[in-house]
Amino acid sequence: MVEKKAKEKSKKSPSLTLSVLNDKGKAVEKINLDKEVFDGKVSLALIHQAVVAYQANQRKGLASTKTKGEVSGGGRKPWRQKGTGRARFGSSRNPVWRGGGTAFGPKPHSFYKELPRKMKTLALKSALNEKLNTSSIVVMDEINLKTHKTKGFVEIVNNIKLDGKKTRFVVENLENNIKIASRNIKKALLIKANDICTVEAVDCEYLVFTKGALRVAEERIKKCL
């Protein structure tokens, strides 16, 4: 027991102070994370529920099969009821016949799963804490592009040493130059701080926040705690 406690104490909690990088990849200042949001608590069960609900809500549920009553044909009884030595059949559209209907097949229906707002928020909070615990959060001063050329955005990705990594850039506003410049980079994903959800926070190797976007995300989570 004593050894376990000693090991637990020896584990360092993630720092709540991160360096802020400019578009050249150089640290220009430090930023303190909100203690209410980044408290180190991670609930994998909540994250799982949020991901399952999100994926279920993307499903259209349009698969459809025909029952024996919906398949065309089969209006005539194949053979008489008795005296043939064969099993009785009322229709050639029976599910056991080739070309017949489908028994218990899928019909269009909704897969929608409702998740309380607070659970969604706590799941996002857990996802952000998991990223912080694994040193997968990067904070940038701002992302400014004078043109919409992909080359400018590639330079920023290279400068912060995330080339080839699946990275989600979280910004305050989706400026036109950034949207166009980033859309040709397969592993660079862009989203507004007000729109980020648990799946988007989990489905990437690194989260890159601008300072303003980080504060927006923190305030959004704190409102629901």
Cα radius of gyration rounded to whole Å, the chain = 28
| Residue 89 and residue 154 share a domain | no
| Residue 171 and residue 191 share a domain | yes
| Residue 28 and residue 77 share a domain | no
| Residue 169 and residue 132 share a domain | yes
pLDDT band at 5 (very low <50, low <70, confident <90, very high): very low
Domain count along the chain: 2
pLDDT band at 75 (very low <50, low <70, confident <90, very high): confident
Phi and psi, residue 224, nearest 5°: -100, -5
138-194 pLDDT tens trace: 999 999 898 999 999 999 999 999 999 999 999 999 999 999 999 999 999 999 999
What local confidence, expressed as pLDDT, does residue 224 receive? 86
- Domain region containing 73: 63-110
| Residue 25 and residue 131 share a domain | yes
What local confidence, expressed as pLDDT, does residue 14 receive? 72
| Residue 120 and residue 145 share a domain | yes
Q: 128 and 43 in contact (C-beta within 8 Å)?
A: no
Asked whether the whole model's pTM tops 0.95, one would answer no
What local confidence, expressed as pLDDT, does residue 12 receive? 58
178-220 pLDDT tens trace: 999 999 999 999 999 999 999 999 999 999 999 999 999 999 9
| Residue 198 and residue 98 share a domain | no
